[in-house]
Structure 1
Amino acid sequence: MTTPALNTAVEAIMREASERAIVPRYRTLAACDIDNKAADDVVTVADRDAEAMLTERLAALLPEAAVVGEEAVFADPSVMERLKQGLCWIVDPLDGTNNFAAGKPPFGVLVALADRGDILGGWILDCLTGRFCRAAPKGGAWIDGTRVVARTTGEDPPVAAISTVFLDEAARAKVCTHIAPHYRLVDIPRCAAEQYPRLVLGTNDISVFNRTLPWDHAAGVLFLNEAGGKAARPDGSPYRVDEYERRDLIGASSPALWDQFAELVANMPG
């Protein structure tokens, strides 16, 4: 469904939202501009203004498509049902909000287009560097107009970005005992708009995601898979945006590295 004209239009909309609603507020937020959504999860005036702008512009671009935005869902969880009903835009207006609110990179904007669970297009903007990633099914993965192919770090052991923040104590212990010895563990960027490109650009080999909300992952999963890496559920099933209640997702810079990691996970004691 994506076309060169649609790609150009989506990129322009995302850059406008970044330049008008996000970047001018970087390191200038007042305390009243930041609210707590939950423990260790904040929202800022930039998130809200960027989502309003993106929603308006994307809805005008494809009037037949609904819009599912992160902040809209926070206000009304029933908005998620649109993912199962037909064509829809999926919007993360400011991915990496905790970083942004703390005055540090990375942070970005994520947009995807989906139809009843299937991802039709994905776009990822790094707000500070301007790096723009896009992908479409069977259309390859692109960064700033150049087609890219995922590459591994080439390191031994491979590099794994794994967060244990959302794991309980028992699960955290399993990771430390059964996974960590096989990899060089590094911190996650707390920003999917950065984490997926790292798997393509040879920075990380493995990433594990415990929460898999569609606005965080739809664009990145498509981008990584189209680049020749692999993102899938631990059982090998594909990621679908209409299965938003499921958890756990593995991303890897190559299918072989994905298989190795998934085997380790499958063989962990219950």
Structure 2
Amino acid sequence: MLPHLDDLATLVKAAAREELLPRFAGTERLFKADGSVVTEADFAVQKRLTARLQERYPEFALLSEEMDALRQQELLEQDNAGLWCLDPLDGTSNFTAGLPFFTISLALLIEHKPVLGIVYDPIRDECFTAQRDLGAWLNGVRLRVPSVDLPLRRCLAVVDFKRLGPLAAKLAVRPPYSSQRNLGSVALEWCWLAAGRFHVYLHGKQKLWDYAAGALILSEAGGRAETLRGEPIFSIELQPRSVVAAGDRRLFDEWKTWLTECSDGIGSP
């Protein structure tokens, strides 16, 4: 039997309230080898949730962003009953700068597929959850992507230009949408798309812990996503994946067609 989403939400919310919020905008930033930011808060949440999940669900192993890459790969290759996939603080740069847009993201993988997902935003007290084939919810209320009666040229896009290479320049010069944002927390971007707060999404490189919960939430809310190469988003590997997504399926087709014609094969796996 799968863990209950309400029980998991209780654990995640407590970690956010007691480990993240007291450190918000007041913790020292460190830099990892790849240049990304990490803080004391990342490690505090990882330590806390690792212990709590092990106590309650000892049959499942846990993979976290802040683990050593060799250990992460070992966990992916093991024959586990299930594997938690945790991003203890998604949006660390926002967090250290005092920008109120960050989250904890947790997914449960069974047989190499996400079956549960939780993304919790402690600033807005918004808890996005999903269970495979049963739906998605925001604070316990069923979440469905609203239909969009707009052409692509009238839509709001969230685009991460930093990881798109030559495609970024083409989008900057000839954008097919009306306006663009970059929010800085991948997991929350997935959820805000599911909630209809913007219309189309593009990101060049996301790691497993970035998208495992969020992609499940969007899918269960009725949205659609692929890589730039037209592959399924989810892959049980450490290599980053690109993302093309939209809440509305008609709009997704228009967005993907434009990108395919524009990019001439440019993209990330």
TM-score, normalisation: structure 1: 0.89
2:18 is aligned to 20
The answer to whether residue 217 in structure 2 is matched with residue 223 in structure 1 is yes
Partner-residue secondary structure (3-state), 1:55 = helix
- Deviating more after overlay: 78-87 vs 159-168: 78-87
How do 1:1-16 residues align onto structure 2 when only pairs under 5 Å count? 2=2, 6-16=4-14
- Cα displacement string for residues 80-126 of structure 1 (whole angstroms, at most 9, x for unaligned residues): 33234331000000110000000111011000000242111100100
1:103-157 residue CA offsets vs partner (Å, 9 max, x unmatched): 1110110000002421111001001111101001111110111101102554442
Question: Aligned AA for 2:236?
Answer: D
The counterpart of 1:99, out of the listed 94, 103, 119, is 94
Name the aligned partner's letter for residue 2 of structure 2: T
% identical equivalent positions: 28
Change beyond 3 A, Cα 1:125–1:164: same
How many residues are treated as equivalent by the alignment? Answer: 260
Query: Which stretch shifts more, 84-93 or 152-161?
Result: 152-161
Q: Does 1:110 align with 2:105?
A: yes
What are the equivalent positions in structure 2 for 1:147-158 lying under 5 Å apart? 147-152=142-147, 154-156=149-151, 157-158=154-155
Counterpart in the other structure of 2:157: 160
Distance 1:38 1:154 in 2: 45
Distance 1:241 1:52 in 2: 26
TM-score by length of 2: 0.89
Give 1:203 deviation, angstroms: 1.6
Counterpart secondary structure, 1:216: helix
Match of 2:74 in 1: 81
CA contact (8 A) 1:193 1:220 kept: yes
* Counterpart Cα distance in 2 of 1:76 and 1:39: 12
Which sits farther off after the overlay, 154-163 or 183-192? 154-163
Tell me, yes or no, if the aligned pair for 1:99 and 1:190 is still in contact at 8 Å.
yes
Q: Which one of 180, 183, 186 corresponds to residue 180 of structure 2?
A: 186
1:16/1:217 CA distance change after superposition, 3 Å: same
Contact 2:46–2:88 at 8 Å: present in 1 too?
yes
Preserved contact between residue 93 and residue 110 of structure 1 (Cα < 8 Å) = yes
SS at match of 1:112: strand
Letter in 2 for 1:158: C
Aligned ranges for residues 1-270 of structure 1 at < 5 Å? 2=2, 6-29=4-27, 33-38=28-33, 41-72=36-67, 75-85=68-78, 86=80, 87-152=82-147, 154-156=149-151, 157-168=154-165, 170-177=166-173, 180=175, 182-268=176-262, 269-270=264-265
Distance 1:39 1:78, change over 3 A: closer
Gaps of 5+ in 1: none
Contact 1:84-1:242 within 8 A present in 2 as well: no
The answer to whether the 8 A contact 2:224-2:246 is kept is yes
Q: What is the RMSD of the two structures over their aligned residues, measured on CA atoms?
A: 1.9
SS at match of 1:68: strand
Counterpart amino acid of residue 121 in structure 2? D
CA distance in 2, matches of 1:130, 1:108: 10
